[in-house]
Amino acid sequence: MYQLEEKIWFWVLGVIPFIILMFLLLQYWRYRTQKKFANKELLNRLSPNKSVFKAVLKVVVLSLAVACLALALVNPKIGTKLETVKREGVDIVFAIDVSKSMLAEDIAPNRLEKAKQLVTQIINNLGSDRIGIIAYAAKAFPQLPITTDYAAAKMFLGNMNTDMLSSQGTAIDEAIKLSETYFDDDQQTNRVLIIISDGEDHSESAIPVAEQISVESGIRIFTIGVGDIKGGPIPIKKNGIVLNYKKDSNGETVITKLNEETLKGIAEVANGAYVNGENTNNVVETIGDILNQMDKTEFETKQYADFKDQFQWFLGFGIFFLFLDVFLLERKTGWLKKLNLFNEDF
């Protein structure tokens, strides 16, 4: 397991393309200038030891030096010991709607981005709870199993989009069924499923499925509605520009609306609660209060400890490559001329 202490220094890697670009421009300028001065045969006679390979090698070595120094500034750390830690918390699974209707912009910036913001803020306010993530449209797909790694959860969350599932539609019941597989029967923690959706349900069986799973598995289901009850069109974009809006078979623009009744019905039969997702602070506070009132169950988790700095290795290699670049000449080396490894004309 590793950590990156100062990720901001990765911007130093942007110097490498600049070095390569300047090298190519310099080579082009040399070629144009030398062509005006003399022909190729005469130039080879005037500078027999000139090596194109050595010039390229110097740029490669300089780029490696910059890359190593950048990584030294980032300061990677490696965990050297795996510890078993006992924690108390609740198991929470987030089921996020990624159907096309979540692209509607009746809530800024759009329903899906708002859903991701809500989940991120809820995660930021958790203590030692375990979390999992499900994406669903016409089918449900596991994104992240139950874990205490909040950083990984946020990474998966950030990558979620409406193109990740080929089958379109909205089947909330599929997400509810899949969530049941997330919870470990051996560790009887409080089990919570939080569904973030606009409430569209093409399967129309979400409420009975929610009731059944709540009774059989003890899963409490909370729902968060994103969108506006007045609704909005579903934009079709390319490179961030709206080209058109989704239309039905009659050529009419589709208006998708927040269906609070379905979400309220699911929460009611599953011993949960419905929260409107318009106000982020209100959602975070409401969910936080609900989770804090639940009994916490102790569970064990393994995590890396004693992270040690590794910047010294990259710093050493960076200095080595810098010295190598300084002492590396662009003219051909005598013993390399004899070997002629690169088929250069002498």
pLDDT in tens, 160-173: 998 887 777 788 99
For residue 205, pLDDT over 90 is answered with no
What's the pLDDT at 185?
63
pTM here is: 0.65
338 pLDDT band (50/70/90 cuts)?
A: low
Q: What percent of the chain has pLDDT over 90?
A: 47
In 3D space, the residue among 2, 52, 62, 5 whose CA is nearest the CA of residue 27 turns out to be: 52
More confident residue, 239 or 215: 215
Query: Residue ranges per domain, the chain?
Result: 2-75+310-339, 86-302
Q: State the Cα–Cα distance between residues 132 and 156, nearest whole angstrom.
A: 10
pLDDT in tens, 123-148: 999 888 889 999 999 899 999 998 88
How does DSSP classify residue 341? Answer: T
Q: What is the mean pLDDT of residues 76-82?
A: 72
346 pLDDT band (50/70/90 cuts)?
A: very low
Instruction: Name 92's bridge partners.
Output: 131, 192
Residue 235: strand, helix, or coil: strand
More confident residue, 295 or 194: 194
In 3D space, the residue among 17, 9, 13 whose CA is nearest the CA of residue 59 turns out to be: 17
HSE-CB for 123 with a 13 A CA cutoff = 23
In 3D space, the residue among 181, 198, 192 whose CA is nearest the CA of residue 97 turns out to be: 198
> CA separation (Å) from 75 to 2, 63, 70, 309?
10, 18, 9, 6
What's the pLDDT at 260?
93
Q: Which top CATH class is 86-302?
A: alpha beta
pLDDT in tens, 228-258: 999 999 998 888 788 888 888 888 898 999 9
For residue 85, pLDDT over 70 is answered with no
Residue 176: strand, helix, or coil: helix
C-alpha 309, offset from chain centre: 25
203 pLDDT band (50/70/90 cuts)?
A: confident
Tokens standing for 105?
């912009």
In 3D space, the residue among 90, 85, 86 whose CA is nearest the CA of residue 288 turns out to be: 90
More confident residue, 302 or 60: 60
For residue 196, pLDDT over 90 is answered with yes
More confident residue, 94 or 149: 94
For residue 334, pLDDT over 60 is answered with no
What's the pLDDT at 160?
92
More confident residue, 308 or 216: 216
What's the pLDDT at 335?
46
223 CB burial (10 A radius; 0-12, 13-18, 19+): buried
Q: What is the mean pLDDT of residues 318-328?
A: 85
226 pLDDT band (50/70/90 cuts)?
A: very high
227 pLDDT band (50/70/90 cuts)?
A: very high
Residue 84: strand, helix, or coil: strand
